[in-house]
Amino acid sequence: MTSDELRKFAERYAEAWSSQNPDSVAAFYAEGGSISVNGAAPVPIAQVARGFFLDFPDMVVTFDRLESRPDGTAFHWTFTGTNNGPSGTGNKVRISGHELWKMDNEGLIAESKGNFDAADYERQLRKK
């Protein structure tokens, strides 16, 4: 993938995360592709997306930048939303992080390692 194609892929990926449709997010992953978040065990991406969509029905993910690394491409993002899901606090959350992507030969994400400041995320959920 050229750098321009990768940037467009990242823009569409952020839009998918803002769609409230887990299948739209999963479409960016290779068959059997997964994500691990903050070092947890890898899980199917649709499962992760479903959880966030349930907890944050107004969530928006913006694409901040891409970073080429020896071990993959880092997709930097910012997430905003209101925790109005079934057990929600009603708090607004804004957090930034990144996913480190390993792409397959078809230009899909084979593996993603997501990272964000979990302590800051939890603090924002609790504060009132």
pLDDT at 128: 65
Q: What percent of the chain has pLDDT over 70?
A: 98
Residue 80's pLDDT is what?
Answer: 97
> Could you read off the pLDDT of 24-34 as tens digits, one per residue?
999 999 998 89
Q: Could you say which architecture CATH assigns to the domain 3-126?
A: Roll (3.10)
What are the tens digits of pLDDT across the range 110-123? Answer: 999 999 999 999 99
Q: Distance between CA 93 and CA 59 in Å, rounded?
A: 9
What pLDDT is stored for residue 1 in this prediction? Answer: 82
Please check the confidence at residue 41 and state whether its pLDDT lies above 80.
yes
Bridge partners of 68, per DSSP, are: 73
Residue 87 pLDDT = 86
pLDDT of residue 104: 94
Break the chain into its structural domains and give their ranges: 3-126
Per DSSP, 19 falls in state: T
Q: DSSP string of 24-46? A: HHHTTEEEEEEEEETTPPPEEHH
pLDDT at 39 over 90: yes
Give the HSE-up count for residue 2: Cα atoms under 13 Å, Cβ half-sphere: 3
- Provide the pLDDT confidence category of residue 51 given band limits of 50, 70 and 90: very high
Mean pLDDT value across residues 62-81: 96
